[in-house]
Structure 1
């Protein structure tokens, strides 16, 4: 299944239980003083998009980045999911909690996008999705979507309460803790049988 129209790509923060557990008491500190009551979203603009098999360039000042293996819902309409797609939501390691971390998440090429959209009725229940993340062929992380705070349908319903998604928009389900870190020269493969394999290599930015 191919994506005829590619719209806006949205990331979701704090949607894995491990993320919330890792923050612990920080969630109750100023300025928020509580865990978020609605989904926390951010945008991965078009400058971040890298196709499957493409190289992701690291600027000279960035020694390493985090791999964010996840799955995105691809929208058919405002509330209807066309299918699911693998993504690698790359970010510079940081601990920013208080505003959208644009300078860490939105560098050129910092989103690997799979080329295989699996229709909703073929992919199965997202709650049982499991991704394997390999760096240079070695298994570094297993992401289990049974650990989501908001499962896919709940996430979509809650997001739809405050914004309207359009055809081709993509809503990521979130990234778990334990994200592998990679450097220039590393090759990352994110794999799930139903969705194929997303592969990206990390290279030095051209001078």
Structure 2
């Protein structure tokens, strides 16, 4: 099933939960929140599916046309976002890096989350080298600590698309560390939907980035250095994972920083990142407003 969060265009900022009948299709409004759904696990998903299958045209269903709603990130309040660096063979190669012997893990703040259709505010007073990174994002379904690889997929609720925006010049001026470069507002774009794990085989999915219509990245999850099970197991042995947490699993070759000459996101650019079977996130770059508080 495909679960989304959305706002009705004529009803303000209330975030609602829905089932998307297909990518880009009508949305069936359902009660509760995404966090409650994730914590309810497979039993709640199965119950919803049975209800829809038994009477898909029930008169009490509230069905919304896509023109009437705006999607937001399907996850808005995880306890944490886990990032994985240098996890594609071609991605490491184009940067001239050796393949890591164990996963490279970093953290992103939930305040960086945005969704499809959102503007990407470029902090141009601090950086001029914002890069794109399309990623398969794993949504954790239940508490995970010291998980064995063989059991790791049992802890997955579903998958979504992620864009891990990165300010390359800040990495260079911050001792090679990634935290400051990856935690500006809007730098963790997620969406358009969470597709439950029963509908996705995550080991052979195509990923793609387009900027202003031009293909920049094309890759496949089969090219990961560390697979989904390895990542969940490894991270859970160091950091306890909670329902709703997100793991960004790395990005393939095609980074702007690796091009000759290097390319970076500019004001007005339209960034589209896709993962097969899930959908596409679209962000448009704008200038960040500098505010003090």
TM-score using structure 1 length: 0.85
- State which drifts further: 90-99 or 174-183: 90-99
Q: CA contact under 8 A between 2:209 and 2:216: conserved in structure 1?
A: yes
The aligned counterpart of 1:66 is 131
Partner of residue 260, structure 2: none
Distance in 2, matches of 1:87 and 1:114, equals 7
How far apart are residue 36 of structure 1 and its match? Answer: 4.8
Query: C-alpha distance in 1, partners of 2:162/2:277?
Result: 14
2:105 aligned with 1:41: yes
- Structure 1 residues 103-161: Cα deviation after superposition (integer angstroms, max 9, x where no partner): 2111122111113011111012x221111211112222112111111111121122222
Corresponding residue for residue 31 of structure 1: none
> Number of paired residues?
198
Contact 1:10–1:172 at 8 Å: present in 2 too? yes
Match of 2:167 in 1: 92
Aligned to 2:283: 200
Q: CA deviation at 1:74?
A: 0.2
Deviation digits for residues 169-197 of structure 1 (CA, Å, limit 9, x no counterpart): 00111122321432111001112341111
Cα distance in 2, alignment partners of residues 99 and 92 from structure 1: 12
Q: Does 1:56 align with 2:133?
A: no
Given candidates 109, 122, 131, the residue that maps to 2:199 is 122
Deviates more, 1:73-82 or 1:155-164: 155-164
Higher relative contact order (CA 8 A, sep 6+): 1
Question: How far did 1:54 drift?
Answer: 0.3
SS of structure 1 residue aligned to 2:128:
coil
C-alpha spacing 1:98/1:120, structure 2 compared with 1 (3 Å) = farther
Secondary structure of the structure 2 residue equivalent to 1:104: helix
Out of 246, 249, 254, the position equivalent to 1:173 is 249
| Residue correspondence of structure 1 range 122-141 to structure 2 within 5 A | 122-124=199-201, 126-141=202-217
For the pair 1:189 / 2:272, whether they are aligned, the reply is yes
SS in 1 for 2:120: strand
For structure 2, the residue ranges without an aligned partner over 5 or more in a row are 5-32, 36-76, 145-151, 257-263
User: Which blocks of at least 5 consecutive residues in structure 1 are unaligned?
Assistant: 28-34
> Is the 8 Å Cα contact of residues 206 and 276 (structure 2) preserved in structure 1?
no
Larger Rg: 2
- Structure-2 separation of matches of 1:134 and 1:202: 13
TM (normalized to structure 2)? 0.62
Aligned to 1:168, the other structure's residue is in SS state: coil
